[in-house]
Amino acid sequence: MLVAAPGVAYADTVRGLSWHLDFLKVERAHAISQGEGVVVAVIDSGVDAGHPDLQGQVLPGWGIGGDAAPDGRTDNRDHGTGMASLIAGKGGNDNRLLGIAPKSKILPIALGEASEEREVSQAVRWAVDHGARVINISIAFPASELAEDLRQSVAYAMSKDVVVVAGAGNTDANGLGVGVPAAIPGVVASAAVDRSGGAWAGSSHGHEVSVGAPGVQVITSAPANRSKNGYLVGDGSSNAAALVSGEAALIRSQFKQLSAANVINRIIRTAKDAGKPGRDDLYGFGVIDPVAALTADVPEVKDNPLLGAQQGSSTGPGSAGPTGQPLVSAHIDWKIMGPLLVVVAVLAGGITWLVLASNRRRRRAVQRVPGYPPGR
């Protein structure tokens, strides 16, 4: 059991702020699996390999785009570091962030600031060819702009037995729809839920959503060039995607012979039903349950169950449905502010709240919709 430092309230520590760990009963899950032996690719802004939460967790990776770190192990923004920490943070004490799969390894693929779908497509193929068993993509492009090469790269990953997880996107309730790659059939499209398990209004929703996972007021690690204090707290479906990727790593480690299709099947079949009975547009098949995913008796399947489910509407597979509304810009906008950002500092063993970015900022319709960050 983690104990707060003397004189510091447990609720004010990094661990105390990690409500998602208690919500997902991660301590129980870790008694079964911690993701050992599984490589999770994080296609993002790069990962700060020197962050105390991630030292020894980050493999040499790749960079694509003008300002991307060549080996992916530097993060000039904060987004990728945050996602990697939710997946593979080492933890160790109250003021270190513990990931869902702390014994997994991160394969970072850094995207340049002006990256487009083409670069994401290349990153997916590189990840597959360099040992990734799970790929986390916490980036969403408008579904109307889906490029064929991205679809083919995702299909390539699936053909190589790799689980692909993506954030549904953030819309601030503007109705932009689930983005891609999340909307590509077979991808585990992850929407954000809050502490109560309720669907977050800022998350993209639609018939493509596979599952829900914690995404609101989630604490993540951040590089020193973005937060002197090493942590950020914020909202986003990217948080949800990272946690789902971590769950996939737990399953792949525990059931080493299980195919990607069956890993995905375990994720969706053991999710806790929420909202309307059965699959729905807010929660997909439900909110993830890592303990159940590691312990339940789930009949095996031959094919990826999402190849059919994402084709349909909320009533089930097979029905037509909208894929999202068009946006205009030609590349990822890393500077988009999320709905809420809190910068936190580790002081004397505890957390001190420093900055609250107020005035909820809405995204302009001409900008791409990243699944995260809470503050970039």
Task: Supply the residues annotated as catalytic.
Answer: 44, 79, 238
Strands, DSSP E only, in 8-116? 39-44, 62-64, 105-111
Strands, DSSP E only, in the chain? 39-44, 62-64, 105-111, 134-137, 163-167, 188-193, 211-214, 218-221, 231-234, 341-347, 350-357
Q: Which residue is it, tokens 């890592």?
A: 290
User: Kind and range of the H or E element at 254?
Assistant: helix 237-254
Query: Of 124, 109, 89, which is closest to residue 47 (Cα–Cα)?
Result: 109
Three-class secondary structure of residue 191 per DSSP = strand
Could you give the CA distance from residue 113 to residue 64 in angstroms, rounded to a whole number? Answer: 10
Residues 4-24 as b or e (16 or more Cβ within 10 Å = b): beeebeeebbbbbbbbbbebb
Whether the CB-CB separation of 175 and 357 falls below 8 Å is answered with no
Whether the CB-CB separation of 116 and 330 falls below 8 Å is answered with yes
Three-class secondary structure of residue 242 per DSSP = helix
Could you give the CA distance from residue 118 to residue 120 in angstroms, rounded to a whole number? Answer: 5
Which amino acid type is present at position 374?
P
Q: Which residue is it, tokens 């040992």?
A: 131
Residues 151-177 as b or e (16 or more Cβ within 10 Å = b): bebbeebbeeebbbbbbbbbbbeeebb
Whether the CB-CB separation of 15 and 183 falls below 8 Å is answered with no
Could you give the CA distance from residue 193 to residue 235 in angstroms, rounded to a whole number? Answer: 9
